Amino acid sequence: MLLSERMLNALNEQVKIEAESSQVYLAVASWLETQPGLEGYTEFFYKQSDEERHHMLKFMHYINDRDGHAIIPALAMPQNNYQQVIDVFRDFLKNELEVSQSINNLVELALNEKDYLTFKFLQWYLDEQLEEEKMAKTMLEKLELVGSDRGGVYQLDKDIVGLRKKVSDTKEEGED
Protein backbone atom coordinates (compact mmCIF):
# COMPACT_ATOMS: atom_id res chain seq x y z
CA MET A 1 0.00 0.00 0.00
CA LEU A 2 1.44 3.34 -1.07
CA LEU A 3 1.50 6.42 1.09
CA SER A 4 -0.91 9.17 0.10
CA GLU A 5 0.76 12.36 -1.04
CA ARG A 6 -0.57 14.14 2.04
CA MET A 7 0.86 11.46 4.35
CA LEU A 8 4.16 11.42 2.49
CA ASN A 9 4.50 15.19 2.88
CA ALA A 10 3.60 15.02 6.57
CA LEU A 11 6.10 12.20 7.22
CA ASN A 12 8.82 14.10 5.39
CA GLU A 13 8.03 17.13 7.55
CA GLN A 14 8.54 14.87 10.58
CA VAL A 15 11.94 13.84 9.17
CA LYS A 16 12.83 17.54 9.27
CA ILE A 17 11.50 17.96 12.81
CA GLU A 18 13.56 14.99 14.05
CA ALA A 19 16.66 16.27 12.23
CA GLU A 20 16.19 19.72 13.75
CA SER A 21 15.85 18.20 17.22
CA SER A 22 19.07 16.29 16.70
CA GLN A 23 20.81 19.46 15.56
CA VAL A 24 19.48 21.50 18.49
CA TYR A 25 20.63 18.89 21.02
CA LEU A 26 24.03 18.69 19.35
CA ALA A 27 24.41 22.47 19.70
CA VAL A 28 23.32 22.25 23.35
CA ALA A 29 25.85 19.48 24.01
CA SER A 30 28.62 21.55 22.45
CA TRP A 31 27.73 24.57 24.60
CA LEU A 32 27.53 22.44 27.75
CA GLU A 33 30.91 20.90 26.96
CA THR A 34 32.46 24.37 27.21
CA GLN A 35 31.00 24.89 30.70
CA PRO A 36 33.18 23.59 33.56
CA GLY A 37 31.97 20.59 35.52
CA LEU A 38 28.93 19.71 33.40
CA GLU A 39 30.05 16.43 31.88
CA GLY A 40 26.79 14.63 32.76
CA TYR A 41 24.58 17.17 31.00
CA THR A 42 27.00 17.17 28.06
CA GLU A 43 26.87 13.38 27.70
CA PHE A 44 23.10 13.46 28.09
CA PHE A 45 22.60 15.87 25.19
CA TYR A 46 25.12 14.17 22.90
CA LYS A 47 23.12 10.97 23.42
CA GLN A 48 19.86 12.88 22.99
CA SER A 49 21.14 14.17 19.64
CA ASP A 50 22.04 10.63 18.54
CA GLU A 51 18.61 9.39 19.61
CA GLU A 52 16.81 12.07 17.59
CA ARG A 53 18.93 11.20 14.55
CA HIS A 54 17.89 7.56 15.04
CA HIS A 55 14.24 8.69 15.12
CA MET A 56 14.78 10.59 11.87
CA LEU A 57 16.31 7.52 10.22
CA LYS A 58 13.37 5.34 11.32
CA PHE A 59 11.03 7.76 9.57
CA MET A 60 13.20 7.80 6.47
CA HIS A 61 13.32 4.00 6.25
CA TYR A 62 9.57 3.78 6.80
CA ILE A 63 8.86 6.31 4.04
CA ASN A 64 11.17 4.54 1.60
CA ASP A 65 9.81 1.11 2.54
CA ARG A 66 6.30 2.35 1.70
CA ASP A 67 7.46 3.35 -1.81
CA GLY A 68 7.77 7.00 -0.88
CA HIS A 69 10.93 9.06 -1.04
CA ALA A 70 12.38 10.46 2.17
CA ILE A 71 13.72 13.95 1.55
CA ILE A 72 16.79 15.27 3.35
CA PRO A 73 15.85 18.75 4.58
CA ALA A 74 17.90 21.91 4.92
CA LEU A 75 18.17 22.93 8.56
CA ALA A 76 18.38 26.32 10.21
CA MET A 77 21.27 27.03 12.56
CA PRO A 78 20.24 26.21 16.13
CA GLN A 79 20.83 28.40 19.18
CA ASN A 80 24.44 27.98 20.30
CA ASN A 81 24.59 29.85 23.62
CA TYR A 82 22.61 29.83 26.84
CA GLN A 83 22.70 31.86 30.03
CA GLN A 84 22.14 28.96 32.43
CA VAL A 85 21.64 25.20 32.39
CA ILE A 86 17.99 25.66 33.38
CA ASP A 87 17.41 27.55 30.09
CA VAL A 88 18.59 24.46 28.22
CA PHE A 89 16.01 22.31 29.98
CA ARG A 90 13.21 24.83 29.42
CA ASP A 91 13.97 24.60 25.70
CA PHE A 92 14.32 20.81 25.93
CA LEU A 93 10.81 20.45 27.38
CA LYS A 94 9.35 22.96 24.91
CA ASN A 95 10.91 21.10 21.98
CA GLU A 96 9.69 17.70 23.18
CA LEU A 97 6.15 19.03 23.63
CA GLU A 98 6.25 20.37 20.06
CA VAL A 99 7.50 17.03 18.74
CA SER A 100 4.71 15.25 20.63
CA GLN A 101 2.12 17.54 19.06
CA SER A 102 3.56 16.83 15.63
CA ILE A 103 3.39 13.06 16.24
CA ASN A 104 -0.20 13.46 17.46
CA ASN A 105 -1.04 15.30 14.24
CA LEU A 106 0.47 12.43 12.22
CA VAL A 107 -1.61 9.90 14.18
CA GLU A 108 -4.75 11.91 13.47
CA LEU A 109 -3.90 12.10 9.77
CA ALA A 110 -3.20 8.36 9.62
CA LEU A 111 -6.57 7.60 11.21
CA ASN A 112 -8.41 10.05 8.96
CA GLU A 113 -6.83 8.47 5.89
CA LYS A 114 -7.35 4.95 7.23
CA ASP A 115 -3.60 4.36 6.86
CA TYR A 116 -3.37 1.76 9.59
CA LEU A 117 0.20 0.76 8.75
CA THR A 118 1.36 4.30 9.48
CA PHE A 119 -0.86 4.42 12.55
CA LYS A 120 0.82 1.26 13.84
CA PHE A 121 4.28 2.63 13.00
CA LEU A 122 3.55 5.80 14.98
CA GLN A 123 2.64 3.94 18.18
CA TRP A 124 6.32 3.55 19.04
CA TYR A 125 6.77 7.33 18.74
CA LEU A 126 3.83 8.01 21.03
CA ASP A 127 5.44 5.87 23.74
CA GLU A 128 8.82 7.47 23.08
CA GLN A 129 7.45 10.98 23.41
CA LEU A 130 5.80 10.17 26.71
CA GLU A 131 9.23 9.15 28.06
CA GLU A 132 10.97 12.19 26.53
CA GLU A 133 8.46 14.63 28.00
CA LYS A 134 8.66 12.96 31.41
CA MET A 135 12.47 13.10 31.42
CA ALA A 136 12.57 16.76 30.33
CA LYS A 137 9.91 17.75 32.88
CA THR A 138 11.64 15.88 35.71
CA MET A 139 15.01 17.51 35.04
CA LEU A 140 13.47 20.96 34.68
CA GLU A 141 11.57 20.56 37.96
CA LYS A 142 14.77 19.49 39.73
CA LEU A 143 16.69 22.45 38.32
CA GLU A 144 13.89 24.78 39.40
CA LEU A 145 14.17 23.35 42.92
CA VAL A 146 17.90 24.02 43.20
CA GLY A 147 17.65 27.42 41.48
CA SER A 148 21.01 29.12 41.11
CA ASP A 149 22.72 26.93 43.74
CA ARG A 150 25.85 25.78 41.92
CA GLY A 151 26.22 22.76 44.20
CA GLY A 152 22.70 21.63 43.33
CA VAL A 153 23.30 22.11 39.60
CA TYR A 154 26.53 20.11 39.97
CA GLN A 155 24.77 17.28 41.84
CA LEU A 156 22.03 17.11 39.21
CA ASP A 157 24.75 16.91 36.56
CA LYS A 158 25.87 13.67 38.22
CA ASP A 159 22.28 12.44 38.63
CA ILE A 160 21.31 12.93 34.98
CA VAL A 161 23.53 10.06 33.87
CA GLY A 162 21.57 7.74 36.17
CA LEU A 163 18.23 9.14 34.98
CA ARG A 164 19.17 8.53 31.34
CA LYS A 165 20.31 4.99 32.15
CA LYS A 166 17.08 4.31 34.06
CA VAL A 167 14.98 5.50 31.09
CA SER A 168 17.16 3.53 28.63
CA ASP A 169 16.82 0.36 30.71
CA THR A 170 13.03 0.81 30.84
CA LYS A 171 12.92 1.26 27.06
CA GLU A 172 15.02 -1.88 26.48
CA GLU A 173 12.75 -3.93 28.75
CA GLY A 174 9.72 -2.77 26.75
CA GLU A 175 11.28 -3.67 23.38
CA ASP A 176 10.95 -7.41 23.89
- Please give the Cα distance from 163 to 136 (Å, whole number): 11
Give the pLDDT confidence score for residue 150 in this predicted structure: 85
8 Å CB contact between 49 and 22: yes
Structural domain spans, the chain:
5-174
Give the pLDDT confidence score for residue 127 in this predicted structure: 96
- The candidate with the shortest Cα–Cα distance to 63, out of 110, 120, 2, 19, is 2
Class of the domain covering 5-174:
mainly alpha
Q: Where are the alpha helices (DSSP H) in the chain?
A: 5-33, 39-65, 85-112, 116-146, 150-174
Over residues 108-120, the pLDDT tens digits come to: 999 999 999 999 9
Stretch 56-76: mean pLDDT, rounded? 97
This prediction has a pTM of: 0.90
8 Å CB contact between 176 and 57: no
Cite the annotated binding site by residue number: 18, 52, 55, 96, 129
Cite the annotated binding site for Fe cation by residue number: 18, 52, 55, 96, 129
Give the pLDDT confidence score for residue 155 in this predicted structure: 87
DSSP 3: P
∠ CA 141-101-163 to the nearest 5 degrees? 35
Stretch 40-44: mean pLDDT, rounded? 96
